[in-house]
Amino acid sequence: MQKSRVGIILGVLALMLVTTGCSSLVGGKWAVKVNGDPILIKDYDARVADAQKTYETQGMKFDTDQGKQALTQIKSQLLDRMIEGKLIAQEVKNQKLNPEDAKVKEQEDVIKKNLGDATKFQDTLKQQGMTEPELKNFLAVYAKITGDIKVSDADVKAFYDKNVANYSQPESVKARHILVKTEDEAKAIIVQLKAGADFQQLAKDKSIEPGAKDSGGDLGTFTKGKMVPEFEKAAFAQKVGTFSTEPVKTEFGYHVILVEAHTNAVAADFAKVKAQVEQDALNASKDAKFQTYFDDLRKKAKTEYAKGYQPAA
């Protein structure tokens, strides 16, 4: 319904990722100093290599023009992430926090569980440009900064009112269709259906939609906004158990639609979802406070770039 706790954490991590330019690599021992603490070039290069391998296993090719552009952006993002990692590590030290605390471990375990397995967890960290110790540092600082956040009943209700759609069941339709190139073909199919022909079999035999031979034109259940406007308007207006008596024209061709089910929108019962809303409102408030805190931390930091590593203006 709302994103899980891991979604909140990774969402904050994503907000921390700032897209900047990246100049070509040059020699030297350090790429950036953050409040005097250096990020070594060799560590940065290793971080880039790890991320590149992970992306390549997922099918990304860096020898194309598009891939080269993507790699430039990835390098920039990774350096920025390492800068943020330094800032967070400095905060851990300054505030005498323990990244090995049981609560930090608990949050990390939630992330691992939601990602599925250890390999996926490590690959995600590499793509994010983070190490496991950096993640623990982040979780420790996040817990410290947001530990005093509370939400009142009024806050929870206001959050619900603003996000009520996320807790409600939207109107939906379950349908099949037969797609053909011309209006005459669609009209001929409607004639056959009126004469008693089987809709699914006609879809398998006549529809030009890829996969229709196996699915019988099944589109499953969909909500508003998922289909092109002309198709959506016709499907949501049609009675359950009927097929369209006139062809429905869209950019794909001409459709004959069979509506199998239509479920009306159902507003959430606030009392039943209140516990979830309260947790979501609390998470949102924590995220907002942490983001403000981190933005200020980054703004006040003294960041010195070696030649060739400065972000694009």
- pLDDT average, residue stretch 242-262: 97
User: How confident is the model at residue 41, as a pLDDT?
Assistant: 93
Q: Using 50, 70 and 90 to split pLDDT, how confident is the model at 3?
A: very low
| CA dist., res. 167 & res. 278, Å (int) | 12
| CA dist., res. 286 & res. 102, Å (int) | 20
The reply to whether 142 and 289 lie within a common domain is yes
Q: Could you tell me if residue 203 is inside a domain?
A: yes
The reply to whether 31 and 137 lie within a common domain is yes
User: How confident is the model at residue 155, as a pLDDT?
Assistant: 97
- pLDDT average, residue stretch 9-18: 45
The reply to whether 24 and 129 lie within a common domain is yes
Q: Which two tokens stand for residue 147?
A: 């530990």
pLDDT of 274 higher than 90:
yes
| CA dist., res. 88 & res. 12, Å (int) | 13
| CA dist., res. 101 & res. 83, Å (int) | 24
**Helix ranges restricted to H, 17-131:** 41-57, 65-94, 102-115, 118-128
The reply to whether 244 and 277 lie within a common domain is no
pLDDT tens, position by position, 43-75: 999 999 988 998 888 888 998 988 888 988 999
Whether 216 contacts 204, CB under 8 Å: yes
- pLDDT average, residue stretch 195-221: 95
Q: Using 50, 70 and 90 to split pLDDT, how confident is the model at 271?
A: very high
The reply to whether 87 and 123 lie within a common domain is yes
For 201-305, strand residue ranges (E) read 218-223, 248-250, 253-263, 303-305
**Phi, psi (rounded to 5 degrees) for 97:** -90, 160
The reply to whether 180 and 148 lie within a common domain is no
Residue type at 209 in one-letter notation: E
User: How confident is the model at residue 24, as a pLDDT?
Assistant: 37
| CA dist., res. 128 & res. 122, Å (int) | 10
Looking at the 3D structure of the chain, how many domains does it have? Answer: 2
The reply to whether 258 and 275 lie within a common domain is no
User: How confident is the model at residue 129, as a pLDDT?
Assistant: 83
Q: In the predicted model, what is the mean pLDDT of the chain? A: 89
pLDDT tens, position by position, 81-117: 999 999 999 999 999 999 999 999 999 999 999 988 8
| CA dist., res. 122 & res. 116, Å (int) | 11
pLDDT of 263 higher than 50:
yes
| CA dist., res. 41 & res. 137, Å (int) | 22
pLDDT of 165 higher than 80:
yes
- pLDDT average, residue stretch 269-276: 94
| CA dist., res. 24 & res. 79, Å (int) | 13
| CA dist., res. 84 & res. 68, Å (int) | 25
User: How confident is the model at residue 313, as a pLDDT?
Assistant: 66
The reply to whether 33 and 73 lie within a common domain is yes
pLDDT of 6 higher than 80:
no
Q: Calculate the alpha carbon distances from 142 to 4, 69, 178, 310 in Å.
A: 16, 33, 53, 28
The reply to whether 94 and 197 lie within a common domain is no
Q: What is the dihedral of CA 191, 192, 198, 199, to 10 degrees?
A: -50
